[in-house]
Chain A
Amino acid sequence: EDAERITSADVAVVEHRRRVLDEWYAWRDAMEKELAEERAALGLPADPVGELLRAKAAEIAPDGQEQVIE
Chain B
Amino acid sequence: MRPILLKGHERPLTQVKYNRDGDLIFTTSKDQQICVWFSHNGERLGTYRGHQGAIWSVDVDPTSTIIASGSADNTIRLWDIKTGKCLKSWEFPTAVKRVEFNEDGSKLLGVTEKRMGHLGTIVVLDIKIDVEAEQSDEKALTIVCEESKATVAGWSYLSKYIIAGHEDGSVSQYDAKTGDLIYNIPVHELNSSITDMQWSSDRTYFITASQDKTAKLISAKDLEVLKSYPADTPLNTATITAKKDFVILGGGQAASEVTTTSSRQGRFEARFYHKIFEDEIGRVRGHFGPLNSIAADPTGKSYASGGEDGYVRVHHFDKGYFDFMYEVERERANRQQQMGTATA
Contacts and interface: CB of A to CB of B under 8 A. Distances in A.
A52 B105 contact: yes
B158 A21 contact: no
Nearest to A44: B158
A16 B83 CA distance: 54
B160 to A, nearest CB: 8
A14 interface: yes
Interface in B199-243: 202, 204-205, 219, 221, 226
A28 B281 CA distance: 23
A21 B104 contact: no
Nearest to A34: B221
Contacts of A27: 226
Contacts of B65: 56
B158 A42 contact: yes
Contact of B328 (A21, A35, A48): A21
Nearest to B103: A48
A56 B63 contact: yes
Given A17-B328, A52-B129, A24 B62 contact: no
Nearest to A50: B62
A17 B277 contact: yes
A49 B103 contact: yes
Contact of B276 (A21, A34, A52, A53): A21
B63 A32 contact: no
A57 to B, nearest CB: 10
Q: Interface range on chain A: under 10, 10 to 19, 20 to 34, or 35 or more?
A: 20 to 34
Contacts of A12: none
Contacts of A24: 276
A17 B20 contact: no
B332 interface: yes
A25 B202 CA distance: 15
A40 to B, nearest CB: 11
Contacts of A56: 63, 65
A49 B62 CA distance: 6
B326 interface: yes
Interface in A4-36: 14, 17-18, 20-21, 24-25, 27, 31-32, 34-35
A38 B327 CA distance: 35
B323 interface: no
B16 to A, nearest CB: 21
A21 B20 contact: no
Contacts of A18: 328, 331
Contact of B327 (A14, A20, A44, A53): A14
A52 B104 contact: yes
B278 to A, nearest CB: 8
A48 B104 contact: yes
Interface in B19-40: 20
B329 interface: yes
B244 to A, nearest CB: 14
A18 B63 CA distance: 39
Contact of B204 (A31, A42, A49): A31
Given A21-B277, A48-B62, 7 more contacts: A14-B327, A17-B327, A17-B328, A25-B332, A38-B158, A39-B158, A52-B104
